Amino acid sequence: MAIPFSKQRLSPEDSALILIDHQSGIMQLVHDYPPAEFRNNVLALAKLGKAHDLPTVLTTSYDEGPNGPLIPELRAMYPDAPLIRRPGQISAWDNEDFVAAVRATGRKKLIMAGVTTDVCLAFPAMQAAEEGFTVYAVVDASGANDTATQQMAVQRMSAAGVIPVNWIVVAAELQRDWRLPSAPKTGEIFHQHLHNYGMLIDNFAAQQAARAQ
């Protein structure tokens, strides 16, 4: 039976952000999004975590090898978040320290993104769902070798009870109401990372300034 939306719905009080293997080497394998768009989506999601004070866990896979280090923007944004440097486990959920860090957030809803979508995201997402977490796979902040691989991964995760979303859906569900105090931060993220919406905001601001003259 599908989970009712009222129980699926994200809120800052019950969600954690999990970012898996956004490393400079592995990200070169992503071809379902152009590189600039993909990095833009990852950073937008990360900024949403900051805007809503979500407990956040970072992890890397063999980052001293060809997979490369975590991209610097994420570590700069989350200098105090747990960074689990996995020595060999392909699925982050097979690493005890990672699972312990996720459990330590105290949250049962996990907003999860990873590179690659079919492995680094799908494996721990399905394992976490099996253990009772509600997992939201942020597909556009994850990346695959091609679109067909992405689609197969989304289908597999959905069949396992994982909920596929994009970063804009995450933003809207966390914000809920533009009258909430987090609205300026969410609006700034939209302006910076949802570029057509940013132009809309700039146009509105220009009109308002013209009327005030």
> What pLDDT is recorded for position 115?
96
Q: Which domains does the chain have, with CATH numbers?
A: 12-178 (3.40.50.850)
Residue keyed to tokens 């999990």: 18
Is residue 206 annotated as part of the catalytic site, yes or no?
Answer: no
Q: What is the pLDDT of residues 190-209, one digit of tens each?
A: 999 988 776 777 777 777 77
Sheet holding 15-20, edge to edge: 83-86, 56-61, 15-20, 109-114, 134-138, 163-165
Confidence (pTM): 0.92
List the catalytic residue out of 42, 120, 138, 157: 120
Q: What is the pLDDT of residues 87-104, one digit of tens each?
A: 999 999 999 999 999 999
* Position 2 pLDDT exceeds 70: no
Give dist(CA 63, CA 23) in Å, integer. 8
